Amino acid sequence: MRVTPRFGLQLYTLREDVARDLDDSLAFVARCGFPAVEAALLPGLTARALRSALDRHALRVCSAHALPFGDGADRALDDAQALGAPLVVVPFAHPERFASASNVAALADELNAAAALVRSRGLRLGYHNHFWEWRALEDGSAAFDAFVSRLDPAVELELDVYWARTAGRDPAAETTRLGARVTRLHLKDGPADKPESPMTALGDGVVDLKAAIAAAAHADWMLVELDQCATSMREAVRRSAEWLGLRAAS
């Protein structure tokens, strides 16, 4: 059965605004029509303060970016629970982790161990890609394929369609191929040529977002995330909300 997706915003997108005025930033998110955010505990922001502010603006947390590894694992999971995030998403693994088959296997095993810890806290674990996951391994195969095949099937994938496109992949085809593993999409747009190129509001770049969204039959949340834009970030977020059919902030 196809899941009806909901749209949210990865809070990292508005990190500069949040640093200046958390409440004003969340009021803007709510006015854009987003019902939820994907949390990122930005510098100086505690889980308790963020949860309180989100409650004031009737926003929920659909997931949280965190690193549930090592000495900081328990704190990361405490924060996720305080925020009410059902899914903890590992936002980043260094490109070197995908440079060889042995490195890929070691990373997958670390995530599998983390998944067991996350489950013991009543949460779920996911992984968010960039573009370097699709580099070729020694045998010519894509590192991402080896990584996914070794992951615990319970580890969910948050497929970033822009980085997939930057890696030369068709986001809709990747989404279809990965099937039920993809429970989140990260939506961003832009030229998808070089990592440092400014991104754009949804619909203004080269990514076939409509095809990717249509292919994501199992994704219950689709999240706008923009790293950098030539326009103001608020303008890009507002226009992205309009493109998604949400009510836009004035």
What are the tens digits of pLDDT across the range 82-97?
A: 999 999 999 999 999 9
What pLDDT sits at residue 191? 98
* 248: in domain: no
- pLDDT tens for residues 146-165? 999 999 999 999 999 999 99
- How many domains would you assign to the chain? 1
Give pLDDT tens digits for 19-35.
Answer: 999 999 999 999 999 99
Mean pLDDT within 60-85: 96
Q: Is residue 1 situated within a structural domain?
A: no
Q: What is the dihedral of CA 204, 129, 90, 119, to 10 degrees?
A: 110
Q: How many residues does the chain have?
A: 250
User: What is the rounded distance in angstroms from the CA atom of residue 21 to the CA atom of residue 33?
Assistant: 19
Q: Give the model's pLDDT for residue 1.
A: 65
Per-residue pLDDT at 249: 47
Is 212 a member of any domain?
yes
What percent of the chain clears pLDDT 70, i.e. is strictly above it?
98
pLDDT digits (tens, 9 = 90+) for 199-250: 999 999 999 999 999 999 999 999 999 999 999 999 999 999 999 999 754 4
Task: Please indicate, yes or no, if residue 109 is contained in any of the structural domains.
Answer: yes
pLDDT score, position 193: 96
Domain containing residue 138: CATH number = 3.20.20.150
pLDDT at position 247 is 74
CB 130 within 8 A of CB 115: no
Mean pLDDT along residues 68-75: 94
- Does any domain span residue 250? no
Burial of 245 (0-12, 13-18, 19+ CB in 10 A): exposed
Give the residue numbers spanning the domain of 39: 6-243
What pLDDT sits at residue 248?
57
CA separation (Å) from 222 to 39, 212, 248?
14, 10, 17
Task: State the chain's maximal CA–CA distance in angstroms.
Answer: 53
**Each residue's pLDDT tens digit, 109-138:** 999 999 999 999 999 999 999 999 999 999
Above 90 in pLDDT, residue 12?
yes
Write the pLDDT tens digit of every residue in 168-208: 999 999 999 999 999 999 999 999 999 999 999 999 999 99
Cα(87)–Cα(70) distance, rounded to whole angstroms? 19
Q: Which two tokens stand for residue 29?
A: 């998110």
Would residue 228 count as lying in a domain?
Answer: yes
Contact status, residue 112 vs residue 77, Cβ threshold 8 Å:
no
